[in-house]
Chains A and B, each alone.
Chain A
Amino acid sequence: MSKENLDKINERLNAEFPGGVLAAELLYDFPVFTIDHTKSHAIIQFLKEDPELDFHFLTDLTAMQTADEKQLGVIYHLHNMKKNMRVRVKTFFDINKPEVDSITNLWPSANWMERESYDFFGVRFKGHPNMVRILNVDEMDIFPLRKEYPLEDQTREDKDDKMFGR
């Protein structure tokens, strides 16, 4: 079922946006698409508004950093409740220019989730009405979930932690 969904959605996306889909795979029975970040808004809008695909519910939006620490990504989970189809859409971009289009005009619920992604990873969402921090203090000048900020103070000498943690 999921495999058929993956192929069907992939076909539609490739027909509509040639070169927009960079990878399509099935991870743990979940269709996952990696898309070009310059076309992310258009592709997500298509997934939402196409009457056949009809991913009308934004389940989740979050950000991540890739393992090489050179890229940031935004991950969208979309859901079509009528057919009970889910899809994960990922888009990656350079960490020095972390900009991607906001989807708050498609779903108001994206508002705080995008603010959270900005707060923790520094992803700037173009077109967001209020791009400020949400959970951390406004004065904070780092993006704490990036891998360059380790959890503990690295100048500590009283603790030998090399066997544990990252």
Chain B
Amino acid sequence: MSKKENTITPPPDTMEKEYSTLNLGPTHPATHGIFQNVLKMDGEIIHDSLPTLGYIHRAFEKLAERRPYAQITTLTDRLNYCSSPINNIGWHTAVEKLIGAEIPKRVDYLRVIIMELSRISDHIICNTIIGQDTGATTGFLYLFQWREHIYDIFESICGARLTTNICRIGGFDREWPQVTWDRIDAFLKGFPKALNEFNGLLERNKIFMDRTIKCGPISAERALANGFTGPNLRAAGVDYDVRVATPYSSYQDFDFIIPIGTNGDTYDRFTVRQEEMRQSMRIIEQAIKNLPAGAPHADIPDFFLPPKEQVYNNMEALIYHFKIVMGETDIPKGEVYHCVEGGNGELGFYLISDGGRTPFRLHFRRPCFIYYQGYAEMIKGSLLSDAIITMSSMNVIAGELDA
């Protein structure tokens, strides 16, 4: 039978091409958070998609206009809750920039340890979930216990695990206990082996490579136009990292490599994060090796709470304590943009102070809110199953998306 006989040609203008509509989310296990995509499907190919967001909007910017500076830390916890210590410390460094505080090197180094640990935990979540969504559950369950160990470290410092509220304006509220250092040592000894095992499961695995290479690619130009930052931008081949471009918290003292990819596809995003975890380990090792001695906080009595025994016996300390707790400390007028390298991109704090007890205006530059716009473009014309792993590889966190 020739080809012509086998095809049915309807008379012209009698049939229209039809698309079907598919709701991906808002509460679907594969979206890893509360957000919705209304997909226009041509069979299994995505023709168009319309993202809807705002399901867990909590008005943080409005709330921040009513809270004293120290109390805003708990709002930042709930932005990117996979790496809340980075948000906390980003906020503290933003306020320290506003008040012009001089922070001792010891505080910087301790903060770097915390931030790199939380970067590792953020990347563990993202990369193991890529594995999970491609069908490799083992890595997810195996590496998640190391995330637990990181949370144990946070718990020994600040008492909380997920929404940490770690660190204070000016430094740490107390010296780290010995158990923290023991846990960090145990983590540094054990984690590289686990990471290599996880790497061995996926990185050169033929099935995983076939599944992720050329899946959800984006070029460097389009990534920049869509406001990508962080590992997603670096996977597209742009070596922009806030830690190097505008060092904060003494990142200029450390020797580390910024890994970049070439294609900006899911596989590149995965491998960039894998390498970043190894580089974070290097940074932590350097910070511990070169840790300066001294107090774990800056000498800024206006902002840093005095020791409790002085509050009871010393007039001055009592006044400072009262002023800080009630939020009556004088704050200079000014406006600051401060950015840190969050787990998924450039996390910025645009802070306008009019000298009042609360910020006049506070805007969070939330990386995934901006780069999630590129998602529709990345999945257009791809299969539905590719759209799922593209989303998990972009590390979109609902809390940060919706503020």
**A residues lining the B interface (CB < 8 Å):** 27-28, 30, 32, 56-60, 62, 64-65, 67, 75, 77, 81, 84, 86, 88, 107-109, 111-113, 116, 120, 134-137, 144-145, 151, 164-166
Contacts and interface: CB of A to CB of B under 8 A. Distances in A.
Interface of B: 53-54, 57, 59, 61-63, 65-66, 97-98, 224-227, 238, 240, 245-246, 327, 334-337, 339, 346, 348, 350, 352, 354, 356-358, 360-361, 363, 365, 369-374, 402-403
B352 A84 contact: no
B350 A75 contact: yes
A30 B403 CA distance: 26
Contacts of B361: 64-65
B356 A109 contact: no
A109 B227 contact: yes
Contacts of A145: 61-62
A142 to B, nearest CB: 12
Given A67-B360, A84-B245, A109 B240 contact: no
B358 A81 contact: no
A30 B402 contact: no
Given A108-B373, A135-B57, A166-B66, A28 B225 contact: no
A88 B245 contact: no
B53 A30 contact: no
Given A75-B350, A151-B66, A166 B57 contact: no
A134 B225 contact: no
| 5 cross-chain pairs, A with B, having the tightest CB-CB distances, nearest first | A109-B227, A135-B54, A62-B363, A135-B57, A60-B365
Given A120-B61, A134-B53, A151-B63, A60 B348 contact: yes
A67 B227 contact: no
B358 to A, nearest CB: 6
Nearest to B369: A112
A120 B362 CA distance: 13
Nearest to A64: B361
Contact of B354 (A67, A77, A81): A67
A131 to B, nearest CB: 15
A48 to B, nearest CB: 11
Contacts of B339: 59
Contacts of A134: 53-54
B346 to A, nearest CB: 7
Contacts of A75: 350, 363
Given A62-B363, A108-B374, A164-B327, 5 more contacts: A60-B348, A112-B373, A113-B369, A151-B62, A166-B358
B171 to A, nearest CB: 21
A81 B240 CA distance: 7
Nearest to B245: A84
Contacts of A112: 369-370, 372-373
A84 B245 CA distance: 7
A144 B403 CA distance: 14
